[in-house]
Amino acid sequence: MRVVNIKNHSQREACLARLCAEAYGHEAGLRPLAIFAGTLGVLFEQEAARVLALVDDHSRPVALALLVLDELGSSMTVTLLAELDQESVVRPAERLIAELALKAPLRVDVLDAEQEARFTGAGVSRWLDGKAGVRIGLGPKHPATTLADLPRALTFDEASVIQSFKQDHQQFDDYKARFVRGLEAFPATL
């Protein structure tokens, strides 16, 4: 088992498409496409996001994560996480998070006790109460000690992306085609 930072542009795009589809479901409307487009058009362009994979001993991806830098560049927030294969590897998403928590200043935001327990079991060791019931988990390498210490994760306006799709049908069709091509080209090995 090892963690792979996917740097090849076509593989990264394919993995992002698969990650969005897995995280939001294949019938989730425009949201997976909006996240895909915003991540490509904003976060990747600013070199503010990375797609990482946990691969098995045969280099097959078993879990994927999208990590986004904060505005100071001091930590990374897990914004999407998906398991691809639970048969050959037990709890691959947790194993990926556990590996990342050991090496990176990692942050996760959760909405319920089940998610918190899942990430605690994966090495996210400190928890803070955020706004609107959100619990913020910090890995051992994260420099923050209080909520006031946490810089904002970089992001994009998802509603604006969806609105731009409605106004520019060519842009919508282009991103939709890239998304579908990415799903079709998802690499069997990394």
The pLDDT tens digits for 131-146 are 999 999 999 999 999 9
From 58-67, 142-151, 170-179, the region with the lowest mean pLDDT: 142-151
Residue 69 has pLDDT above 90, yes or no: yes
Residue 26 has pLDDT above 80, yes or no: no
CB atoms < 10 A from the CB of 128, how many?
17
Contact between 148 and 169 under an 8 Å Cβ cutoff? The reply is no
Contact between 149 and 143 under an 8 Å Cβ cutoff? The reply is yes
Beta partners for residue 5, in sequence order: 52
Q: How confident is the model at residue 154 (pLDDT cuts 50, 70, 90)?
A: very high
Q: Average of pLDDT values for 171-176?
A: 97
Give residue for tokens 């604006």.
160
Contact between 12 and 140 under an 8 Å Cβ cutoff? The reply is no
Single-letter amino acid code for the residue at 140: P
Closest by CA to 68, choosing from 90, 99, 46, 53, is 46
Single-letter amino acid code for the residue at 146: T
How much of the chain exceeds pLDDT 70, in percent? Answer: 99
Residue 12 confidence (pLDDT): 98
Helix (H, G, I), strand (E, B) or coil at 67: strand
Q: 83-119: per-residue pLDDT in tens?
A: 998 788 899 999 999 999 999 999 999 999 999 999 9
Residue 109 confidence (pLDDT): 96
**Residue 171 CB contacts under 8 Å (≥ 6 apart), including other chains:** 164, 165
Residue 23: both structure tokens together: 């995280």
Residue 167: both structure tokens together: 């106004």
Single-letter amino acid code for the residue at 61: P
Gap between the Cα atoms of 58 and 170, Å rounded? 40
